[in-house]
């Protein structure tokens, strides 16, 4: 390795490279920690919302045993834990398929022309079989 003279200190390229890679590693760890904290915050918000909805249902007279049995039914369904496919739709500008990018909810960017595409929310947790009117309307 060549010796590099910098501000009257002898440094090798190897030590400079090592400190540079350590710095990048620390930046990556900090970024991952920020992402984990963001996810924790989102989970906490969802927990608060679910608890509020549960309390409203109980206050409105819904039997907690009914809620528990519905939870057991959903957990017993093997489709509950299948990974959900990403949303996709044709780009309004060039017609190519655009995938939901996953970083920003309900938004995707076309890889070919750069157009930002907004997705409408899908409610996968509502079974089509439970709503026969919806099935009839889609066939019209």
pTM for this predicted structure:
0.47
Report residue 66's pLDDT band, with 50, 70 and 90 as the boundaries: very high
72-77 mean pLDDT? 90
pLDDT in tens, 21-58: 788 888 889 888 888 988 899 899 989 999 999 999 99
Rounded distance between C-alpha atoms, residue 112 and residue 92, angstroms: 12
Give the contacts of 16 (CB within 8 A, at least 6 positions apart). 4
Rounded distance between C-alpha atoms, residue 58 and residue 52, angstroms: 10
Coil/strand/helix, residue 54: helix
- The domain spans of the chain are 1-82, 84-135
* Region of 78 on the Ramachandran plot (φ > 0 left; ψ -120 to 50 alpha; else beta): alpha
């Amino acid at each position: 390795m060549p010796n590099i003279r910098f501000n009257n200190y002898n440094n090798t390229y190897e030590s400079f490279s090592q400190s540079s890679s350590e710095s990048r590693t620390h930046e990556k760890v900090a970024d991952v920690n920020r992402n984990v904290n963001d996810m924790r915050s989102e989970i906490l918000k969802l927990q608060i919302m679910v608890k509020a909805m549960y309390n409203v249902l109980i206050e409105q007279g819904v039997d907690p045993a009914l809620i528990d049995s519905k939870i057991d039914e959903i957990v017993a369904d093997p489709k509950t834990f299948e990974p959900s496919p990403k949303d996709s739709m044709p780009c309004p500008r060039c017609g190519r398929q655009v995938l939901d990018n996953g970083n920003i909810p309900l938004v995707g960017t076309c890889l070919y022309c750069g157009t930002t595409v907004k997705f409408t929310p899908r409610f996968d947790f509502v079974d089509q079989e439970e709503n026969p009117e919806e099935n009839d309307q889609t066939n019209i």
